[in-house]
Structure 1
């Protein structure tokens, strides 16, 4: 599995005081789709043994999104090396043909037991890149 996508509809809970999607909500969506992608693609063994921690997020807000709009969230892993994975998430409004937001996040894979960085296997990398 290389890419993962899902469709969402902007709800009132997603809005800020300006009546467009709150910037923090985008980060929630980024984290949610990253987790979904991992859960769908990773082996049961990997899901039991490792966990991901966000190291940094770079978020570029391009256009606002409003109540009732249908958005598509697409994600893919750009690169994986050692214990670090770089994931891209793009949120678009296909009806308006607009990029709403693009996020690049560096994640560190950690061993759940030792809480230390864990190198990714070639098999794991092949699932995502």
Structure 2
């Protein structure tokens, strides 16, 4: 079980679906893009026997600054729908979607959608 490879696989899946995705918080923020970051809890006991674990990720969809609230809402909704379609087609369970604002240490303020997903992995 390599957790970094699991996060990278989701980033690759999103990138193949047309959403630029990375597995870390970048030093320079250039939206729009997605980050696949550890969820909470990152790993927990699965509901099945055999050493399986429930593996959670948060997919952060970072948007650029839109010209108005309606444009921002429309862009976020479209990117959320696209992301959900990609993840669910690959059998990831979507637990929740939250909208927030992110202020990275490099500066700026960006609207984000944080999509909590999970799957079962076997070590």
Question: Which TM class, normalised by the smaller chain length?
Answer: 0.3 to 0.5
Which structure: larger Rg? 1
Which structure: greater strand fraction?
1
> What is the TM-score of this pair, normalised by structure 1?
0.35
Larger relative contact order, structure 1 or 2 (CA cutoff 8 Å, min sep 6):
1
Provide the TM-score with structure 2 as the length reference: 0.36
